[in-house]
């Protein structure tokens, strides 16, 4: 007999796009995390730029308790801070630079004034050139380089203002020869992996080698998400996508280093390029920003989220809205509501398939494409994909089928990682050993997880021999009878 201590029933989300919520002071208590999860959060981002390891450890433990309570795999993304470029300090704490004025960044340790300030990053001096830009304080101040001398970068302030101690600096026109991982990042990475984080977010990626370094340190643990937030990364986008396991469109810093009107088409380019590979793509930053302080978003923000969903992004992210805002639960509920409304649109499936994703010349890709066609042709409630590595689930989700993808895997780690994948409903379950067992388990799991009832049909994709990665070679359509749950099943 199965245990009567069954987890509380949580219905399928009823939407394909996933929601990634950032943890922080507003939501790191177990009760609020539980409310965010029930409201629609499929995954949680732990921002390593803020907070102590002890606090993050408690947050991660609380998320894992939620996972056990609801028997629903939850992805955890640990987002590394990355290298921060900053100016030095000022004698009076700040200085006002007039529009059109001359200002110098140099190597002197003396406190700054209205004429100059320390720039303690020799790497910038190695690559900066006349005519290039230096942006300060999230781009609020813009400087154009007039000349580069020994230890001095003389600039014209195209947009002046008040510059204060240790404000951030962006260098959009040059690739800075600094590693993507600082010593703090290395410590945070080791901590996150020890805590069982499923995804590692790598900030300020500039080149494929940045990902190679991170992956070597990861040693096969977790998956790697490259954050695209610098023009230098955009210039090598295809190489970076190839090296990463997922991509995040980090629009905040992209919007600093690029003109604002350049970001929307670039977002679509990154989403499409990533979707072609079947890897998850996350659209992030300032999606419902007004909800940090307001219980309702602006119409422009609603349209922004809706456009990301129409573009076929795998996941949309909330940052300060849930981490530090006054309305974290409402922000998740709103994002969930927007996504549901978009996906109910009769034109939604057509819109997400405007991108042609032709299958690769492999059996697994051909079968994934066949599953999408089956869902379009006959009435099925879901596609059940048995997978050892998660590859078959990614292939199937890449097709953007009209029905959910129930991902059945013996690996809890794979189940958690696929929680970021469009349309995926991950289930960690025991492996199968025969065709008959595959059919029976697919039926049971579909009924147990709310994908159809008696008479519903299910497309099942798997590989023979069972238990081998990369062996996907069959699709089978089965009919549910409603009696499957009477069968003994340990999961």
Q: What is the pLDDT of residues 417-447, one digit of tens each?
A: 999 999 999 999 998 888 889 889 999 999 9
Q: What is the pLDDT of residues 148-164, one digit of tens each?
A: 998 999 999 999 999 99
CATH topology for 18-82+180-352?
A: TIM Barrel (3.20.20)
Q: Is 225 left (phi over 0), alpha (psi -120 to 50) or beta?
A: beta
Q: Which band of pLDDT confidence, cut at 50, 70 and 90, is reported for residue 452?
A: confident
Between 466 and 4, the higher pLDDT residue = 466
Q: What is the mean pLDDT of the chain?
A: 93
Average pLDDT of span 255-280: 95
B/e letters for 257-266, b = 16+ CB within 10 Å, e = fewer, are bbeeeebeeb
| Closest listed residue to residue 342, CA positions, set 307, 388, 316, 384 | 307
Residues noted as catalytic:
45, 86, 227, 285
Average pLDDT of span 452-459: 92
Average pLDDT of span 85-107: 97
Please state the CATH superfamily assignment of the domain spanning residues 363-486 in this structure.
Pyruvate kinase, C-terminal domain (3.40.1380.20)
CATH topology for 94-170?
A: M1 Pyruvate Kinase; Domain 3 (2.40.33)
Q: Torsions phi, psi of 473, nearest 5?
A: -150, 15
Residue spans of the domains in the chain: they are 18-82+180-352, 94-170, 363-486
Res. 1: pLDDT tops 50: no
Between 364 and 96, the higher pLDDT residue = 96
| Closest listed residue to residue 132, CA positions, set 146, 118, 150 | 146
pLDDT score, position 150 = 86
Task: Tell me the HSE value of 252 on the side-chain side, using a 13 A CA sphere.
Answer: 16
pLDDT score, position 485 = 58
pLDDT score, position 435 = 87
Strand positions, DSSP E, 198-308: 199-202, 223-228, 246-250, 281-284
Res. 95: pLDDT tops 50: yes
pLDDT score, position 467 = 65
Whole-prediction pTM: 0.93
pLDDT score, position 472 = 80
pLDDT score, position 423 = 97
pLDDT score, position 2 = 38
How far is the C-alpha of 119 from the C-alpha of 85, rounded, in Å?
8
Q: What is the pLDDT of residues 217-267, one digit of tens each?
A: 999 999 999 999 999 999 999 999 999 999 999 998 899 999 889 999 999
Which ranges in 101-203 belong to alpha helices (H)?
A: 122-127, 183-194
pLDDT score, position 486 = 55
Q: What is the pLDDT of residues 24-69, one digit of tens each?
A: 999 999 999 999 999 999 999 999 999 999 999 999 999 999 999 9
pLDDT score, position 177 = 92
Asked if 294 and 327 count as a contact pair (C-beta separation under 8 A), the reply is yes
First to last CA, the chain: 12
pLDDT score, position 383 = 97
Res. 5: pLDDT tops 90: no
pLDDT score, position 43 = 98
pLDDT score, position 4 = 41
């Amino acid at each position: 007999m199965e245990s009567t201590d069954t987890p509380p029933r949580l219905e399928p989300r009823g939407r394909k796009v996933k929601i990634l919520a950032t943890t922080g002071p507003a939501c790191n208590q177990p009760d609020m995390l539980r409310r965010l999860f029930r409201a629609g959060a499929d995954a949680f981002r732990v921002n390593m730029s803020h907070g102590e390891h002890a606090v993050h450890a408690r947050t991660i433990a609380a998320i894992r308790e939620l996972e056990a309570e609801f028997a629903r795999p939850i992805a955890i993304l640990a987002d590394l801070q990355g290298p921060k470029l900053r100016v030095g300090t000022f004698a009076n704490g700040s200085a006002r630079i007039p529009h059109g004025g001359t200002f110098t960044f140099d190597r002197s340790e003396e406190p700054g004034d209205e004429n100059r300030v320390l720039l303690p990053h020799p790497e910038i001096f190695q690559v900066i050139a006349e005519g290039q830009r230096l942006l300060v304080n999230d781009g609020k101040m813009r400087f154009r380089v007039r000349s580069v001398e020994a230890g001095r970068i003389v600039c014209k302030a195209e947009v002046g203002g008040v510059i204060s101690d240790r404000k951030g600096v962006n260098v959009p026109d040059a690739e800075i020869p600094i590693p993507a991982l600082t010593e703090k990042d290395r410590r945070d990475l080791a901590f996150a992996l020890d805590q069982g984080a499923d995804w590692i977010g790598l900030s300020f990626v500039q080149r494929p080698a940045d990902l190679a370094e991170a992956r070597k340190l990861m040693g096969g643990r977790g998956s790697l998400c490259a954050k695209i937030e610098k023009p230098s990364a955009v210039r090598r986008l295809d190489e970076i996508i190839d090296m990463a396991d997922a991509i995040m469109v980090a629009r905040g810093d992209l919007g600093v280093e690029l003109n604002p009107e350049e970001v929307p088409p670039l977002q679509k380019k990154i989403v499409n390029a990533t979707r072609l590979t079947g890897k998850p793509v996350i659209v992030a930053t300032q999606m419902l920003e007004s909800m940090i302080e307001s219980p309702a978003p602006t119409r422009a923000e609603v349209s922004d989220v809706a456009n990301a969903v129409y573009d076929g992004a795998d996941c949309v992210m909330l940052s300060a809205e849930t981490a530090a805002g006054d309305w974290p639960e409402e922000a998740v509920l709103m994002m969930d509501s927007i996504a549901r409304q978009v996906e109910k649109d009769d034109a939604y499936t057509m819109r997400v398939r405007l991108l042609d994703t032709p299958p690769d010349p492999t059996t697994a890709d051909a079968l994934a494409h066949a599953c999408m066609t089956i869902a379009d042709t006959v009435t099925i409630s879901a596609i059940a994909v048995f997978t050892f590595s998660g590859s078959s689930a990614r292939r199937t989700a890449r097709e953007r089928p009209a029905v959910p993808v129930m991902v059945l895997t013996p690996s809890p780690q794979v189940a958690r990682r696929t929680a970021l994948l469009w349309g995926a409903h991950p289930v960690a379950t025991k492996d199968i050993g025969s065709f008959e067992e595959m059919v029976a388990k697919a039926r049971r799991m579909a009924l147990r997880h709310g994908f159809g009832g008696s008479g519903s049909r299910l497309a099942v994709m798997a590989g023979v021999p069972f238990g081998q990665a990369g062996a996907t070679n069959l699709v089978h359509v089965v009919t549910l009878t409603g009696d499957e749950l009477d069968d003994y099943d340990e999961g």
